[in-house]
Structure 1
Amino acid sequence: MNAQPFIDAGVKYTPHYFQVPLNYANPDQGSIEVFARELSLVADGDSAKPFLVYFQGGPGFPSPRQNGCNGWVKRALQQYRVLLLDQRGTGNSTVISHQTLAPLSPQEQADYLAHFRADNIVRDAEFIREKLGVEKWAILGQSFGGFCSLTYLSLFPESLSRSYITGGVPSISRHPDDVYQATFKRTMDKNQAFFQQFPQAQQMCQRIAEHLLENDEFLPNGQRFTVEQFQQLGINFGMSDTFLPTYYLLENAFVEINGKTQLRYEFLNSMLMEQSFHTNPIYAILHESIYCQGFASNWSAHRVRQTRDEFNYQSGKPFLFTGEMVFPWMFDQYENLKPLKQAAELLAEKQDWTPLYNADVLANNKVPVSCAMYADDMFVEMDISRETLGTIPNAKAWITNEYEHNGLRADGERILDTLIAMGEQTAATLK
């Protein structure tokens, strides 16, 4: 594709398209396209500022479409050119969706999708670095992007000058069961905080849940709406300032039509808009595999949930929201995931996942790594993150309870500024 650069609000946006191997271990299997958008200040002209590559959270979401010189990008552009990478399968890269996967058999779908994890995302970035003729660059990873950052530090540390991570330091060895044991506890904490602030919301939620058990309600895409889907609204509790908007949704859930109670179209449409799995199936189908190295996930979150019966709603029991978890029933209920059910089962049972991290390389790390860890993070457990950082030299953590998981979006300029300063301090000690 031949897209042209453009300028907006003093920032030049330059598109780049790259043909990369689908499978770096066997390039004969064909290629896919990967898109990256370069941002630079118009005032800089042709100056050769170093690059900062951004790895988006997810998995399965494209880089942000920047609108204005603001947030973390504003701080980054003071000393970097920014490269916003649409990770393979997302955005303007060769996309993965229920549409593009439809011609493939379930086994072909699973085999194809197995090449879309962090290791190959990082190999794509390394391919791009070489194509651009860059000796070293810095990386910024948010959430799952932080997982990609540790993979990059494992595979190609000599290509990195700095690593900045926000809300995304994973375990490099633990099974996902450990992760979900921790995140279910955090999710319970968020539920308790929400219902403590809005006690009346518990009755509202139970009323909605009971209505869904007794009546068929359908989302605007024709999908039957269920209690389990409603519970997934709790994923928002991992972000800042979401309690009050959630309450507003609940208090306007119902409408009376000819004496019959039903869910309002506005409410049902809002519920559909919350289901990003329809447009970003990687987020569902590869979610648990981001933790897997030489073992299968076997629907880890589902199995852990069965040990936490309070999250399985029944009439007369308190209602609880769930969080950032993927469950097998989703591939029976979500319209755009139904065609991927068999592939999802194959990937959940897959044991021969390649390593994502190299503990020996990380134990000898020489790249300054600066991390923002959020003490109350609902998605990435702080204690597990600290455990990992304890094995990586030249890695520093800023632990704060000022932010939720979306800190980079909420106050990115300050957060990146803090991480850059930390990186400079670490670099000074290495000289």
Structure 2
Amino acid sequence: MTMMDNITQLEGMRCHKHYFTLPLDYAAPQGQTIQVFARELQGLQPGAQNLPLLLYFQGGPGFAAQRPLANGGWIKRALQQYRVLLLDQRGTGLSSPVSYRTLAGLTAVQQAQYLSYFRADNIVRDAEAIRQQLSPQAPWSVLGQSFGGFCILRYLSVAPEGLQQAFITGGIPSLTRSADEVYRATYQRVLSKNREFQRRFPDAPKLLNTLAAHLRQHQEYLPNGDLLTVEMLQLLGIHLGMMQGPEAVYYLLEQALVSGVNGSTLNPLFAEHFTQMLSYHTNPLYVLLHEAIYCQQTSSAWAAHRLRAEYPEFSPEADELLLTGEMVYPWMLQQISNLRPLQECAELLASKQDWPTLYNLQQLAANKVPVAAAIYSDDMYVEREFSLETAAQVANLRYWLTSEYEHNGIRIDGEHILERLIALNNGSQLR
């Protein structure tokens, strides 16, 4: 481990940078290594440097931890009683980042083998190895958002001795259900979110259908050179399950087309903002491993792509175009230039059948670590019924079921949400 001597000063807190050299494969600790980065945040109050640690697991998979600008939101509440450690999960941020460029020079088989070590099981191994360096004498607390909650259930399954308590927001996975079951539920929820979007913005269907018709007749390109297809346009639906997401999609569609001397054409402002709203161009792990997070001793075989046929409403040729959600499709590896070099690797990962089991049901049933979870009743990304099913299987887990927030509630009202979860673990209730 190396900690940089310089201390970054942000509004209301100090930040330390930590770099760790850890095994790629923990079964071969003397083999290939990777670098894992974590940013430690401390408040400015007396004694802040001696507070216990709270590790944050980012949502994803394939996204770096947030880069805070100031002491606010959930971080503000956490720093009252913790030092916060923002972990860049392996393959993201400053942690041996994965892209088509960093994987260049490897065969597709080698790429797939390398990336098979980038799921929650090894993210948790990294976390526990870091804890043994930073807090060897005491367990620490953890907070997980979305996929970060999946990581916490893995942590509770294999290394509960490392945990003092856990907080989960919008991220309680099914322990046993297949990728097919997950995506069937997801398509139904996305369909509901589309109908709600249309109800709130009555002219949205016309805006969307007009744009789709234009794209079928004209070749329009994004600033990165990728052709904007109708299928790619539908990917905007990933924002429908976020607080303030439908608004962002609607305002974008309003300015999609502009009139010129040669008729309608794509607004460059739309093209720029569209690219910024989709992270597939910059976060390849999200596409490469998204379905694998549900796989235990089985392959996903492109579950969302296969099951789309069961929901013809989502056809790109439909008269009334609908937006898709948190699904990945094999055609994305053809249409998105930053993913194109990884097509063969993606196919190998989608067909991989020997993914290790992630959760220990017996251990979870006997769990002694206090766990507090926020379950969002209208969550588009994590099926409510599956979350409740899991909650009943994990001992010592208390949950708060609420319709007040969407999936990204922690970004919108994180201070209140974390306060509520801390109270749950303390055995008290807040109004």
What's the TM-score once normalised by structure 1's chain length? 0.96
**CA deviation after TM superposition for structure 1 residue 8, in Å:** 2.0
In structure 1, what is the equivalent of residue 103 of structure 2?
Answer: 101
Matched, 1:236 2:213: no
Question: In structure 2, what is the equivalent of residue 290 of structure 1?
Answer: 293
Q: 1:201 aligns with which of 176, 199, 204?
A: 204
1:351-372 per-position Cα deviation (integer Å, ceiling 9, x unaligned)? 0001111111101100011000
Q: 1:11-45, CA deviations, whole angstroms, 9 ceiling, x for partnerless residues?
A: 11011100000000112331000001111112234
Matched with 2:326 is: 324
Counterpart of 1:175 in structure 2 is 178
Question: Which among 88, 91, 102 is matched to residue 90 of structure 2?
Answer: 88
CA contact (8 A) 2:48 2:83 kept: no
1:157 matched to 2:160? The reply is: yes
* Counterpart for residue 76 of structure 1: 78
Q: 1:299 aligns with which of 290, 297, 302?
A: 302
Q: Aligned partner of 2:62: which letter?
A: G
The alignment partner of 1:141 has SS state of strand
Tell me the equivalent position of 2:384: 382
State how far apart, in whole Å, the 1-side matches of 2:40 and 2:233 are: 39
CA positional deviation for 1:2: 6.6
Shift of 1:249: 1.3
Mark the runs of 5 or more structure 1 residues left unpaired by the alignment.
Answer: 427-431
The corresponding residue for 1:256 is 259
The 3-state SS of whatever aligns with 1:43 is coil
Q: 1:28 maps to what in 2? A: 30
Task: State the match for 1:210 in structure 2.
Answer: 213
In structure 1, distance between residues paired with 2:68 and 2:192: 33
Q: CA deviation at 1:245?
A: 2.6
Identity over the aligned pairs, expressed in percent? 51
| C-alpha RMSD over aligned residues | 1.3
Aligned equivalents of 2:104, 2:273: Cα separation in 1: 27
Give 2:406's match in structure 1, choosing from 392, 404, 407. Answer: 404
| CA-to-aligned-CA distance 1:165-211 (integer Å, 9 cap, x gap) | 00000011110111111111110111001111222111111111111
Residues paired across the two proteins, number: 425
Q: Are the aligned partners of 1:249 and 1:267 in contact in 2 as well (CA < 8 Å)?
A: yes
Gaps of 5+ in 2: none
Q: TM-score of the superposition, structure 2-length normalised?
A: 0.96
Tell me the SS of whatever aligns to 1:18.
Answer: strand
Partner Cα distance (1:231, 1:340) in 2: 22
Q: 2:36·2:94 contact (CA, 8 Å) conserved in 1?
A: yes
Deviates most, 43-52 or 208-217: 43-52
Pick one of 209, 219, 224 that aligns with 2:222: 219
3-state DSSP of counterpart to 2:426:
helix
Give the conservation status (yes or no) of the 8 Å contact 2:140–2:163. yes
SS of the residue 1:20 aligns to: strand
Secondary structure of the corresponding residue to residue 240 of structure 2:
helix
Q: Residue type of the partner of 2:232?
A: Q
Letter in 2 for 1:176: A
Judge conservation of contact 1:366–1:393 (CA < 8 Å) in 2: yes
Q: Which moved more, 1:138-147 or 1:213-222?
A: 213-222
Q: Do 1:10 and 1:43's aligned partners in 2 also have CA atoms closer than 8 Å?
A: no
Which secondary structure state, in structure 2, belongs to the residue aligned with residue 211 of structure 1?
A: helix
Deviation by residue 1:365-419 (Cα, 9 ceiling, x = unmatched): 0001100000000000110000001011110110000000001111000000000
Structure 1 residues 412 and 46: CA distance shift in structure 2, 3 A: closer
